[in-house]
Structure 1
């Protein structure tokens, strides 16, 4: 049935140009990768990428919602050098920026995320990335490396999200549907309305799948509301509302023999533990988020943005050995003020601000009887507080130099209370407090431009990452009072620019990151996790991104509106230093989970008749799965392709139909390994060759 559906879509793509040859073709999805023009928000500079002294990866709407048919963030993020996203089972995301996921068995830690200055990462250092739907996103910026001088704690990097752009004076309604292999089905509706002084966008998206592996089904519903209102010429108020209802089954990791014999199997029972399916292992997660942003421009030179948010999470996790129920309430705010002094011999922009986050968590563990909570085992509360104050100066120097200097103070505190769960002989409630010593994080960067198409920069930045709430209080319960914060220093140099009339674009950076008190994950015999500090790591890397336009987008005589080949490369050498595990010295071993070589190559083509095609090939070299480097992954070779047709139907309707293939080489591979896994259960098999087909119908007036 799926093959027939794909054939219909492909036939439509090929035949539609003749049917609508006289209709004007809408502009393609926004693509601002002209490196001498694109403006980025990183480090509050709002400057061209060419003039920004930092390694920043950019994903546009084309990258997020057209290049791949799979409606997840994972494939688009994996096109960026230095970035690796995993989906161990459908809905279970893990994100690494320059290897930052070595301490994340699941979820997103050690990375700060924002939506137009609104913090999405909570006070406990956790980010519900799976609560976002890629179909509601219009742009992502990824700042690679520690950015604590402006964004607070975190040694991995920072991710800045933006919604879809709303055209002024227009109203647009888009209906979408998709279907694919393994019971994949999704639909959505998006409404956008723009006026002269306001804009509003509402998105609802549904996605469900039976999953490739046994016991790996997922059901997800996402609702988002984004509004912006110009109250006066100087004042703008914006609102962001998110709600996500997600359930996915967790099939669990397999050992190598099980993975080779049947990669679709879920984790089987052992002599002492039941299977994942028998215990109905999975995640039930409801996330609500409401944020308000107020921007005020006193003058052309002074402006302030202040945001406030509240969030709530209802979380349940039946696991093989227990059943966790958790509720989180988060509150926070951020204020940032800019002073621009454009006159004088050294034009300077000053940025000052502060961020305050607080989370209150109630966490209870029960026995798990076939997916039903049994006798209570632990009853605990955790309060997390995170405070950051920061300042930054950006000065234009003679001879085309620009100096950026920033400094922040970061403070993290946890209050943990354990309550008695049995009346007989129970100890009274006890409260433990863990204050991590406040740290000052400086950053200095120097950039020089060479003409209008070339720039180079060097930077020194410091990173700080206190243990997240899920690390000081792991899933099995308890409170770790001995875990220390990570501290690091990053040295970096970069070169970016364009040539051959901007057809050739390049962005290259090299870095050396010295990380102390590196946090790594451990598991006990039952599979329950805990975390320890593993001494130092030295992390060296080279990241490069190249692209070439065979056809200039402005060429009026060509039948193509876009014909581009691009390539990204990541080379790493991450090694432990001074790392003792028991009596074994693991110094100089490679850090697990980080591929020494990652290559991604793509071809993007769009015609003025409305046909578009994207082909992407990824290669990951093998990498160690344990700290001891005794087990390594298989090399990964992943081929993906999408072909589609977008065309107006009259003046108000636009139809977009597409078909996409994933893992076209039919490789058996793991999209996300469990590192240092007990019982050598490292493997989480990704789907074999599969396909997706979908359609979008837009109405604009």
Structure 2
């Protein structure tokens, strides 16, 4: 197996290519930053990617807002090796970093997320990824694997969002509109203004679609504000706020026969349960978030950044069997102080900090009578708290070596109360679940070879307590026996550039060993609950590279990203059945994404992307498998400056151009073998962006 991984990795370096190093560009690929210039924020060092001893995936504004026509995060994230974003129905996101979605029937868990240094993940371990609009983002960094030494609990990884970059002494306004198949329509406006001591970005975006399947319409409105103000030479105050109003219908999963007969159908009724249309199944979600950041620089060697934030969520979910109404109130903060010692015998940077998160949830379940909340079934409150204290040191050693060592202390707890709803019910009683504090170390060693090549190895540990949706699942009750996951990751990587910076490559091989792995189960009605599944062993190889061809009238980039995995259960007993050595469901053994990016001086640009996933298991027993995924996407556009102040961008984009019948997201371990959620057939959309700057 190791020889197989090594051979494929070598072939990937020689013959494949990747756009991961591209930076957004206003007019030409000539502005692309190459590997030895790209700066990443991961692990708080703000170093070149070449000098970062970790696997980090990068997406720039062009990757997020130009390569694909439909404005969602999903297709761009799926170009990164080791990252998989699902969309079971429009607006229903699930994100996996190195297979971390095996415990997520919906939503984003086991991943930490930040926007402009401010935590987005709540104390219950949930991240509202579908509350963000890709059109308000300028850059994403994905740290793959456990990063608990700096970002706290989680065994999957960390995702860092950045807003749009605001040029100094420039102001601009951009309006946009798009439309396409299945009733797709969207519009937006972006205002940016930059001064010597401030930068402000205000964005409003709307998106709606009738959906490909029955009962799969979506409507989303997003408003975001980001401002940064230099109130003194040493002090900067930043504000981030956003509001998201999202409603999407949930058609539900189909079994294989239903999927093949009519992939556009919603989940039908059965003799004992109504269908999705009859119950008006869907999600109503409103999220408000406000955070303030304060950065103070004592001198060029010491600085501190402290953030505080609050969030509020109103959530309603009419489901097949019930109607859930939930309110979440989040509060938290994070502080980081960095000390630099550039003139010591061994130059070093020391980072110390802490993070505290708290979420209070009121959750009530009702009967669902054709989309209307009926008789109350449960009335519950849940309090979640999570804290992290961390220390990291980075030391430059002789012979071009750099050592990074980190350590964090993490703990968490839940408090649960169920209130009586009828006479004779047990009185309200507070139940608690405390997870003992754990220490998470990380050690990484990197060596550079000249200006263009580096290699690293790392050992990192992760810890992931059950999320609030796992200790209090839709099946009801409070699970006091569910244990936290523990993991250790071993990784070695090589990255660099050659041939006058035309060829770029990045290869990483890793092994993640998890204990007390959390997996999903479903009861007869389809409501989920969670159990610990013993150990898992997760081997993977990620390879990416790109090659640029430059000529007088433009530039071409050929790129390819390859992910190979061998994820298996160890010591996993399900009742009387031994599932040890079975493949972990939902993780494709081979994922290959290849593409071509082109820009020409008259203003023409084109992007072509092909994704292939070979079949993977859909349940723990490995009794059902997906079909191969072959997805071709393309965008053709024309961007031109109109005088000194105006810019016009026209584009047309196609998705699923091979017209495949496939699922972008499966329901794993689904009751009744309802694994399948059909994604749209071949569809076309077109859009326009008009900007003015002064």
| Superposition TM-score, scaled by structure 2 size | 0.96
Q: Tell me which residue corresponds to 1:54.
A: 54
Contact 1:35–1:497 (CA under 8 A) maintained in structure 2: yes
In 2, Cα distance between equivalents of 1:31 and 1:190 = 23
Q: Which residue of the other structure, out of 619, 622, 626, is the alignment partner of 1:626?
A: 619
Q: Tell me which residue corresponds to 2:325.
A: 325
In 1, Cα distance between equivalents of 2:330 and 2:677 = 32
Q: What SS does the corresponding residue of 2:101 show, helix, strand or coil? A: helix
> How big is each residue's C-alpha offset from its partner over 1:324-357, in whole Å with a ceiling of 9 and x where there is no partner?
0000000000000000000122000000000000
In 1, Cα distance between equivalents of 2:26 and 2:666 = 42
Contact 1:30–1:61 (CA under 8 A) maintained in structure 2: no
Q: Tell me which residue corresponds to 1:559.
A: 553
Q: What pairs up with 1:366-515 in 2 under 5 angstroms? A: 366-422=366-422, 424-515=423-514
Contact 1:31–1:61 (CA under 8 A) maintained in structure 2: no
In 1, Cα distance between equivalents of 2:684 and 2:67 = 14
Q: What SS does the corresponding residue of 1:357 show, helix, strand or coil? A: strand
> How big is each residue's C-alpha offset from its partner over 1:241-269, in whole Å with a ceiling of 9 and x where there is no partner?
01000000000000000000000000000
In 2, Cα distance between equivalents of 1:96 and 1:505 = 25
Relative distance call for 1:656 and 1:639 in structure 2 (3 A) is: same
Q: What SS does the corresponding residue of 1:75 show, helix, strand or coil? A: helix
Per the TM alignment, residue 32 of structure 1 is displaced from its structure 2 partner at its CA by 4.6
Q: What SS does the corresponding residue of 2:76 show, helix, strand or coil? A: helix
In 2, Cα distance between equivalents of 1:525 and 1:344 = 65
Is the aligned partner of 1:596 residue 2:595? no
In 1, Cα distance between equivalents of 2:450 and 2:369 = 68
Is the aligned partner of 1:640 residue 2:633? yes
Relative distance call for 1:427 and 1:366 in structure 2 (3 A) is: same
Q: Tell me which residue corresponds to 1:678.
A: 671
In 1, Cα distance between equivalents of 2:73 and 2:115 = 15
Contact 2:27–2:639 (CA under 8 A) maintained in structure 1: no
Q: Tell me which residue corresponds to 1:159.
A: 159
Q: Tell me which residue corresponds to 1:10.
A: none
Contact 2:475–2:523 (CA under 8 A) maintained in structure 1: no
Q: Tell me which residue corresponds to 1:698.
A: 691
Q: Tell me which residue corresponds to 2:18.
A: none
Is the aligned partner of 1:148 residue 2:148? yes
Q: Tell me which residue corresponds to 2:542.
A: 543
Q: What SS does the corresponding residue of 1:399 show, helix, strand or coil? A: coil
Per the TM alignment, residue 29 of structure 1 is displaced from its structure 2 partner at its CA by 8.0
Relative distance call for 1:691 and 1:35 in structure 2 (3 A) is: same
Q: Tell me which residue corresponds to 1:14.
A: none
In 2, Cα distance between equivalents of 1:30 and 1:146 = 35
In 2, Cα distance between equivalents of 1:607 and 1:235 = 43
Per the TM alignment, residue 26 of structure 1 is displaced from its structure 2 partner at its CA by 5.4
Q: Which residue of the other structure, out of 603, 613, 626, is the alignment partner of 1:610?
A: 603
Contact 1:184–1:208 (CA under 8 A) maintained in structure 2: yes
Contact 1:93–1:107 (CA under 8 A) maintained in structure 2: yes
Per the TM alignment, residue 651 of structure 1 is displaced from its structure 2 partner at its CA by 1.4
Q: Tell me which residue corresponds to 2:341.
A: 341
Contact 1:31–1:62 (CA under 8 A) maintained in structure 2: no
Per the TM alignment, residue 27 of structure 1 is displaced from its structure 2 partner at its CA by 3.2
Is the aligned partner of 1:658 residue 2:657? no
In 2, Cα distance between equivalents of 1:26 and 1:275 = 48
Per the TM alignment, residue 477 of structure 1 is displaced from its structure 2 partner at its CA by 2.1
Q: What pairs up with 1:78-477 in 2 under 5 angstroms? A: 78-422=78-422, 424-477=423-476
Contact 1:447–1:457 (CA under 8 A) maintained in structure 2: yes
Q: What SS does the corresponding residue of 1:475 show, helix, strand or coil? A: coil
Per the TM alignment, residue 153 of structure 1 is displaced from its structure 2 partner at its CA by 0.5
Q: What SS does the corresponding residue of 1:624 show, helix, strand or coil? A: coil
Relative distance call for 1:31 and 1:59 in structure 2 (3 A) is: farther
Per the TM alignment, residue 476 of structure 1 is displaced from its structure 2 partner at its CA by 3.0
Q: Tell me which residue corresponds to 1:571.
A: 564
> How big is each residue's C-alpha offset from its partner over 1:23-69, in whole Å with a ceiling of 9 and x where there is no partner?
xx953489655111000000001000000000000000010000000
Per the TM alignment, residue 650 of structure 1 is displaced from its structure 2 partner at its CA by 1.4
Contact 1:348–1:393 (CA under 8 A) maintained in structure 2: yes
In 2, Cα distance between equivalents of 1:74 and 1:526 = 30
Contact 1:390–1:407 (CA under 8 A) maintained in structure 2: yes
Contact 1:29–1:62 (CA under 8 A) maintained in structure 2: no
> How big is each residue's C-alpha offset from its partner over 1:507-540, in whole Å with a ceiling of 9 and x where there is no partner?
0000011000000000000001000000000000
**CA RMSD after TM alignment:** 0.9
Contact 1:365–1:476 (CA under 8 A) maintained in structure 2: no
Contact 1:334–1:356 (CA under 8 A) maintained in structure 2: yes
Bigger shift: 488-497 or 424-433?
424-433
Contact 1:394–1:404 (CA under 8 A) maintained in structure 2: yes
> How big is each residue's C-alpha offset from its partner over 1:344-379, in whole Å with a ceiling of 9 and x where there is no partner?
220000000000000000000000000000000000
Q: Tell me which residue corresponds to 1:17.
A: none
Per the TM alignment, residue 427 of structure 1 is displaced from its structure 2 partner at its CA by 1.1
In 2, Cα distance between equivalents of 1:343 and 1:170 = 38
Per the TM alignment, residue 107 of structure 1 is displaced from its structure 2 partner at its CA by 0.3
In 1, Cα distance between equivalents of 2:514 and 2:31 = 36
Q: What SS does the corresponding residue of 2:470 show, helix, strand or coil? A: helix
Per the TM alignment, residue 609 of structure 1 is displaced from its structure 2 partner at its CA by 1.0
| Superposition TM-score, scaled by structure 1 size | 0.95
Q: What SS does the corresponding residue of 1:351 show, helix, strand or coil? A: strand
Contact 1:29–1:61 (CA under 8 A) maintained in structure 2: no
Contact 2:28–2:600 (CA under 8 A) maintained in structure 1: no
In 2, Cα distance between equivalents of 1:185 and 1:642 = 17
Relative distance call for 1:33 and 1:543 in structure 2 (3 A) is: farther
Q: Tell me which residue corresponds to 2:20.
A: none
In 2, Cα distance between equivalents of 1:350 and 1:116 = 21
In 2, Cα distance between equivalents of 1:200 and 1:683 = 44
Count of aligned pairs between the two proteins = 670
In 1, Cα distance between equivalents of 2:476 and 2:585 = 26
In 1, Cα distance between equivalents of 2:437 and 2:33 = 39
User: Which consecutive unaligned segments of at least 5 residues does structure 1 have?
Assistant: 1-24, 552-556
> How big is each residue's C-alpha offset from its partner over 1:199-234, in whole Å with a ceiling of 9 and x where there is no partner?
100000000000000000000000000000000111
Q: What SS does the corresponding residue of 1:192 show, helix, strand or coil? A: strand
Q: Tell me which residue corresponds to 1:35.
A: 35
Relative distance call for 1:175 and 1:619 in structure 2 (3 A) is: same
Q: What SS does the corresponding residue of 1:682 show, helix, strand or coil? A: coil
